[in-house]
A and B are shown apart, each in its own frame.
Chain A
Amino acid sequence: MAFQWSVLYFLVLLQVSFTPIFAGSSGEEEFSEELLLRPLPDRKVLAHFHFESRAPPTEIYGHHHRLFPKAIYQLVQKFQIREMELSFTQGRWNYERWGGFNPITSANAKPPGVELWAILDVPPDQVDASWKNLTHTLSGLFCASINFLESSTAYSSPDWAFQPSSRSLRYGALPREAVCTENLTPWLKLLPCRDKAGLAAILDRPSIYRGFYHSQRLRLTSTEVGSEKGMESGIVLEQTLTIVLEPDAQRPNTNHLGGRVLQPSWSLRSIFGREISGRCVLAKYSTVFIEVERNLVSELKKLGRRRGVAEIASDSWTDPFFDLSVTPDKTIKEMNVTHGDSSSILYEFSTEKYLDYEPFDVGLTWKLPVVWSSPQAPFRASRFLIGSGNQRGSIAISLKSTEPGEGFMSDLAREGCTVRVDVFQVVPWYVKVYFHTLQVFVDGRHRRVTDALEKIHVSPSEDKVSPGLMEMVLRFPCSMKSATLTIEFDKGFLHIDEYPPDANQGFDIPSAVVRFPDFQASTYYLKDNSRKSALLSKFQEKNLLLSYTEILLVPLATPDFSMPYNVITITCTVFALYFGSLLNVLRRRVGEEERFLKEASMRKGMLPQLLSKLSAKLRGKYKDSPQSSSSSSSLLNPKLMFKVALVAGIAVGWHYYFE
Chain B
Amino acid sequence: MEKTRWFWVWVITSLFFRLVLIYFPENLNLGFRPEVATPLTSLRRLAEGYWLKQSSMSPYAGSMYHGSPMLLSILGPLTVKRIEGQPSHLMCSLLFVVADLVTAMLIRATGQTLQLAYSQSLRSLNLVSLLESSETLSAGDIAALVYLWNPLTIITCVGSSTSPIENLLIVLSLYGACLRIAPLAAFGWVLAMHLSLYPVILIIPVILLLGYGPDAPPRKLFLQKNSSENGNSPSCHGNYPCNEVTSQEKLPLHPFLWRPVMHFMLWASFWLFYVFVLCSISLKQHGGLLEMLKRTHGFILTMEDLSPNIGVLWYFFAEVFDFFRDFFLIVFHINILFMILPLAIRLKHRPCFLAFVYIAISSMLKSYPSVGDSALYLGILGLFINELAEMKFSFFLFCGYIGVSLLSPVMHNLWIWRGTGNANFYFATAIAYACLQLFSPDMDKWHGPALVCFCPPESVFQLLQGWSMGLNRRGNLL
Chain A residues within 8 Å of B, Cβ to Cβ: 388-392, 429, 432, 434-436, 456, 458-464, 468, 490, 492-497, 557-560, 563-564, 567-568, 570-571, 574-575, 577-579, 581-582, 585-586, 589-592, 594-595, 620
B322 interface hit (Cβ, 8 Å) = yes
Residues in chain A near residue B306, CB distance under 8 A: 492-495
B409-421, CB under 8 A of A: which get 1 and which 0? 0000001110100
Cα-based distance from A574 to B436 in the complex (angstroms): 10
**In the assembled complex, how far is the CB of residue B36 from the closest CB belonging to chain A, in whole angstroms?**
13
Please, which residue of chain A has its CB at the minimum distance from the CB of B423? Answer: A559
A559 touches B459 (CB 8 A): no
Query: Which one, B109-117, B169-177, B270-278, B311-319, is touching chain A?
Result: B311-319
Among B319, B335, B456, contact of A563 (Cβ-Cβ < 8 Å):
B319
A391 touches B335 (CB 8 A): no
Please give the number of chain B residues whose Cβ is less than 8 angstroms from any Cβ of chain A in the complex: 64
Within 8 A of A (CB), among B287-343: 304-308, 312-322, 331-332, 335, 338-339, 342-343
30 contacts between A and B (CB under 8 A): A390-B415, A391-B32, A391-B417, A392-B32, A434-B44, A435-B48, A436-B48, A436-B50, A459-B61, A463-B305, A468-B62, A493-B305, A493-B307, A493-B314, A496-B318, A557-B416, A558-B423, A559-B318, A560-B423, A563-B319, A567-B319, A567-B320, A571-B315, A571-B431, A574-B435, A581-B442, A586-B346, A591-B459, A594-B474, A595-B238
A432 touches B63 (CB 8 A): yes
**In the assembled complex, how far is the CB of residue B348 from the closest CB belonging to chain A, in whole angstroms?**
13
B456 touches A436 (CB 8 A): no
B318 touches A591 (CB 8 A): no
Residues in chain A near residue B342, CB distance under 8 A: 586
Cα-based distance from A391 to B339 in the complex (angstroms): 36
Residues in chain B near residue A594, CB distance under 8 A: 459, 474
Residues in chain B near residue A390, CB distance under 8 A: 415-417, 419
Among B307, B315, B338, B422, contact of A567 (Cβ-Cβ < 8 Å):
B315
Please, which residue of chain B has its CB at the minimum distance from the CB of A559? Answer: B423
Residues in chain B near residue A560, CB distance under 8 A: 422-424
B285 interface hit (Cβ, 8 Å) = no
A493 touches B339 (CB 8 A): no
B51 interface hit (Cβ, 8 Å) = yes
A564 touches B320 (CB 8 A): yes
**Shortest 9 CB-CB distances between A and B: which pairs?**
A460-B62, A591-B455, A436-B51, A463-B63, A389-B417, A564-B319, A493-B306, A591-B456, A567-B319
Residues in chain B near residue A388, CB distance under 8 A: 417
B364 interface hit (Cβ, 8 Å) = yes
B102 interface hit (Cβ, 8 Å) = no
B446 interface hit (Cβ, 8 Å) = yes
Among A434, A492, A590, contact of B307 (Cβ-Cβ < 8 Å):
A492
Cα-based distance from A517 to B444 in the complex (angstroms): 70
B456 touches A592 (CB 8 A): yes
B416 touches A391 (CB 8 A): yes
Interface SS majority for chain A: mixed
Within 8 A of A (CB), among B379-426: 415-417, 419, 422-424
Among B339, B416, B424, contact of A582 (Cβ-Cβ < 8 Å):
B339
Among B52, B62, B64, B315, contact of A559 (Cβ-Cβ < 8 Å):
B315
**In the assembled complex, how far is the CB of residue A505 from the closest CB belonging to chain B, in whole angstroms?**
13
B451 interface hit (Cβ, 8 Å) = yes
Residues in chain A near residue B442, CB distance under 8 A: 581-582, 585
Residues in chain A near residue B434, CB distance under 8 A: 574
Q: A434-B44, A493-B318, A559-B423 are in contact. Are A575 and B335 (CB under 8 A)?
A: yes
Please, which residue of chain A has its CB at the minimum distance from the CB of B51? Answer: A436
Please, which residue of chain B has its CB at the minimum distance from the CB of A497? Answer: B322
Cα-based distance from A392 to B416 in the complex (angstroms): 10
Residues in chain B near residue A456, CB distance under 8 A: 55
Tell me the total A-B contact number using a CB cutoff of 8 A: 142
Among A435, A557, A570, A581, contact of B438 (Cβ-Cβ < 8 Å):
A581
Cα-based distance from A391 to B455 in the complex (angstroms): 52
A495 touches B427 (CB 8 A): no
Residues in chain B near residue A559, CB distance under 8 A: 315, 318-319, 423
Residues in chain A near residue B423, CB distance under 8 A: 557-560
Residues in chain B near residue A459, CB distance under 8 A: 61-62
B52 touches A460 (CB 8 A): yes
Cα-based distance from A492 to B307 in the complex (angstroms): 6
Residues in chain B near residue A436, CB distance under 8 A: 47-48, 50-51
A563 touches B424 (CB 8 A): yes
Other A-B contacts than A493-B314, A559-B318, 18 sampled, CB-CB below 8 A, are A434-B64, A435-B51, A458-B55, A460-B62, A462-B61, A492-B306, A493-B318, A559-B423, A567-B320, A568-B319, A574-B438, A578-B438, A581-B438, A582-B442, A586-B346, A589-B455, A589-B456, A590-B454
**In the assembled complex, how far is the CB of residue B434 from the closest CB belonging to chain A, in whole angstroms?**
5
A432 touches B318 (CB 8 A): no
B446 touches A460 (CB 8 A): no
Residues in chain A near residue B313, CB distance under 8 A: 571
Residues in chain B near residue A558, CB distance under 8 A: 422-423
B469 interface hit (Cβ, 8 Å) = no
**In the assembled complex, how far is the CB of residue A152 from the closest CB belonging to chain B, in whole angstroms?**
14
Cα-based distance from A420 to B444 in the complex (angstroms): 67
Among A432, A468, A493, contact of B308 (Cβ-Cβ < 8 Å):
A493
Residues in chain B near residue A492, CB distance under 8 A: 306-307
Q: A391-B417, A495-B322, A591-B455 are in contact. Are A461 and B62 (CB under 8 A)?
A: yes
Please, which residue of chain B has its CB at the minimum distance from the CB of A589? Answer: B454
B265 interface hit (Cβ, 8 Å) = no
Residues in chain B near residue A462, CB distance under 8 A: 61-63
Residues in chain A near residue B57, CB distance under 8 A: 458, 460
**In the assembled complex, how far is the CB of residue A226 from the closest CB belonging to chain B, in whole angstroms?**
31
B450 interface hit (Cβ, 8 Å) = yes
Cα-based distance from A591 to B63 in the complex (angstroms): 53
Residues in chain A near residue B307, CB distance under 8 A: 490, 492-493
Residues in chain B near residue A557, CB distance under 8 A: 415-416, 423
Q: A390-B417, A560-B423, A591-B459 are in contact. Are A579 and B335 (CB under 8 A)?
A: yes
Please, which residue of chain B has its CB at the minimum distance from the CB of A436? Answer: B51
Q: A571-B312, A591-B454 are in contact. Are A495 and B55 (CB under 8 A)?
A: no
Residues in chain A near residue B62, CB distance under 8 A: 432, 459-462, 468
Please, which residue of chain B has its CB at the minimum distance from the CB of A585? Answer: B446
**In the assembled complex, how far is the CB of residue B219 from the closest CB belonging to chain A, in whole angstroms?**
16
**In the assembled complex, how far is the CB of residue A451 from the closest CB belonging to chain B, in whole angstroms?**
16
Residues in chain A near residue B415, CB distance under 8 A: 390, 557
Cα-based distance from A288 to B248 in the complex (angstroms): 114
B318 touches A435 (CB 8 A): no
B319 touches A463 (CB 8 A): no
Residues in chain B near residue A590, CB distance under 8 A: 451, 454-455
Among B335, B431, B450, contact of A578 (Cβ-Cβ < 8 Å):
B335
Please, which residue of chain B has its CB at the minimum distance from the CB of A457? Answer: B55
**In the assembled complex, how far is the CB of residue B441 from the closest CB belonging to chain A, in whole angstroms?**
9
**In the assembled complex, how far is the CB of residue B413 from the closest CB belonging to chain A, in whole angstroms?**
9
**In the assembled complex, how far is the CB of residue A156 from the closest CB belonging to chain B, in whole angstroms?**
13
Residues in chain A near residue B451, CB distance under 8 A: 590
B64 touches A578 (CB 8 A): no
Please, which residue of chain A has its CB at the minimum distance from the CB of B450? Answer: A585
Residues in chain A near residue B417, CB distance under 8 A: 388-391
Most chain A C-beta atoms within 10 Å of own C-beta, residue among B312, B318, B422: B318
Residues in chain A near residue B305, CB distance under 8 A: 463, 493
Cα-based distance from A392 to B475 in the complex (angstroms): 57
Residues in chain A near residue B365, CB distance under 8 A: 578
Among B34, B238, B346, B435, contact of A577 (Cβ-Cβ < 8 Å):
B435
Cα-based distance from A532 to B470 in the complex (angstroms): 102
Cα-based distance from A568 to B331 in the complex (angstroms): 13
**In the assembled complex, how far is the CB of residue A25 from the closest CB belonging to chain B, in whole angstroms?**
51
**In the assembled complex, how far is the CB of residue B237 from the closest CB belonging to chain A, in whole angstroms?**
8
Cα-based distance from A564 to B306 in the complex (angstroms): 15
Most chain B C-beta atoms within 10 Å of own C-beta, residue among A389, A436, A592: A436
Cα-based distance from A464 to B305 in the complex (angstroms): 10
Please, which residue of chain A has its CB at the minimum distance from the CB of B417? Answer: A389
B316 touches A568 (CB 8 A): yes
